[in-house]
Structure 1
Amino acid sequence: MISKRYKIADKVIEVSSIYEDVHEYCKDYVTNEQSDFSVTITPEDIALEKQKSDSEYAYEGLPLPNFSDELLEETAVYRKIAEIMPGYDTFVFHGSVIAVDGVGYLFTAKSGTGKSTHTRLWREYFGNRAVMVNDDKPMLKITDSGVIAYGTPYNGKHRLGTNIAVPLKAICILTRGGENSIVRIDKSEAYPMLVQQVYRPQNSMQLMKTLDLVDTMAESVKLYQLGCNMKIEAAKIAFEGMQ
């Protein structure tokens, strides 16, 4: 086994893996601090990940994938970490977080809507004022003073992210539209998408805790819906609308 420690969302995790690839993937988060918890991957974990991926592809009527054991192990590590983090008031959320002047904005939507494209527009519009926090699976921590968004190693196929933490000001549900427009929405309007996009643990107690955290988050940050045509002015309209 290969063991190293990583600091993700202010928690130190000791990861013991069969393959080295996991540690290359997480190298930007390595630390020598004392661990808060540990995860260990077994051949059975890798076999379970293969079974899950095969089932998902079969359900969609797609050819079965041929993922390597190394890639499946990376997914197994991610899943084990995501299962534990709600115990620390933290959860994984599927979305793209970008920070402007040190303040975070999270964009979420159904797959293929254009989250990554939209945050790219922000980087083009704001230049050095904008920093990509995480382009796929940020972690969000609920605190008494608000929500903190963290970069994680799980930052999408283009590996866009930074090992930083920023206060989260707003969550914006992205939709495609001919015109750029942004409106404030309430918790009841946003909640179905928020629950859909959060990582939902298999453990029932951790799942209940996660749903409680999402509920608190929806009351702690401003919520918006953005119709976006993916032109550069969409970034200006979205940013100004969330101020």
Structure 2
Amino acid sequence: MVSVSSIYDEVHSYCRDYLTDEEAEYSVSTSQEDIDFERRKSDRENELEGLPVVDHRDSYLEELAVYRRIAEKMLDYDTVLFHGSVIAVDGEGYLFTAKSGTGKSTHTRLWREYFGSRAVMVNDDKPLLRISGGKVTAYGTPYNGKHRLGSNISVPLKAICILTRAEENKIVPISREQAYPILLQQIYRPADTVKMQKTLALADDLADSVKLFRLGCNMDISAARIAYEGMNACSAEYIKVE
């Protein structure tokens, strides 16, 4: 449980589905300096990608600053912020990750269409992953993407799948060495050296604690069936690691 002290009320409105009366385990607060940092960071990223500078509201930037504070504190609880889309089927979570624009949200939408009520969105953008005892638990958070797709639930994470575009749908297991570069890219990496060391250790544990796959996907609804069956199959077709 987290207590948030913010400058703008919009932060609390953004998190309204996660409000609780339970006692907070820790608290975070923000300042104008944090907001200014988020603005500079956003401007730098847009410049690197050749995008126009966006004049974000301070209240929006504070929402980002709050989650950054939470993400860094959650390392003390063996928990990392991860960029990906988590969907649960029959109570088990599957995380899809890729570079922005590849189609993570589109793919999990196919899962919801294919599985119907069996599928529940956990978080469509930035879930928290707790890594402990060889197991990973995915948590829904208010920071669930522009379409606000997510639930205030937690599920055991069964697999992580790196999504790519392809003409034909195909899923294969991959080794931790193959998966690690993008896992490290998609995990939140703090600037503080000590916190970064803890993040790297948790990234190692994450790669060892769940099944890892790569999916070539053409965004036909059959991709949902192929991905699910591939991540749950026991046949030799899927056991061999590339």
Same fold (TM over 0.5): yes
Matched, 1:238 2:227: yes
**Does the 8 Å CA contact 1:116/1:135 hold for their aligned counterparts?**
yes
Match of 2:15 in 1: 26
What is the one-letter code of the residue matched to 2:171?
I
Match for residue 55 of structure 1 among 35, 39, 44: 44
> Quick check: 1:183–1:226 contact (8 Å CA) kept in 2?
yes
Shift of 1:167: 0.3
Determine helix, strand or coil for the equivalent of 2:147.
coil
Paired position in structure 2 for 1:7: none
Map of 2:53 onto structure 1: 64
> How is 1:162-201 mapped onto 2 (pairs within 5 angstroms)?
162-201=151-190
Equivalent position of 1:13 in the other structure: 2
1:201 CA displacement: 1.0
User: Number of aligned pairs?
Assistant: 232
Output aligned runs, 1:85-104, within 5 Å. 85-104=74-93
Deviation for aligned residue 1:145: 4.9
Partner Cα distance (2:214, 2:222) in 1: 16
Residues 83 and 202 in structure 1, CA contact (< 8 A), matched pair in contact too: no
Deviation at 1:50, TM superposition (A): 1.5
Q: What secondary structure is seen at the aligned counterpart in 1 of 2:40?
A: helix
1:23-45 deviation line (CA, Å, top 9, x unaligned): 01111111122211111111121
Quick one: percent identity of the two aligned structures?
Answer: 66
TM-score of the superposed pair, with normalisation by structure 1: 0.93
Q: In structure 2, what is the Cα distance between the partners aligned to 1:52 and 1:145?
A: 34
1:107-148 deviations in whole A, cap 9, x for unaligned? 001111000000000000000000000000000001215100
Q: For residues 17-166 of structure 1, what are the structure 2 equivalents within 5 Å?
A: 17-166=6-155
CA RMSD of aligned residues (A): 0.9
Could you tell me how far apart the structure 2 residues matched to 1:48 and 1:113 are?
Answer: 28
Query: In structure 2, what is the equivalent of residue 211 of structure 1?
Result: 200
TM-score by length of 2: 0.94
Query: Which amino acid in structure 1 is aligned with residue 135 of structure 2?
Result: G
Identify unmatched segments of 5+ residues in structure 2. 233-242
SS in 2 for 1:62: coil
Separation (CA, whole Å) in 2 of partners of 1:36 and 1:110 = 34
Contact 1:87 1:206 (C-alpha < 8 Å) held by counterparts: no
Q: Unaligned stretches of 5+ in structure 1?
A: 1-11
Provide the rounded CA distance (Å) in 1 between the counterparts of 2:187 and 2:109. Answer: 23
- Aligned partner of residue 55 in structure 1, secondary structure: helix
CA separation in 2, counterparts of 1:145 and 1:198? 18
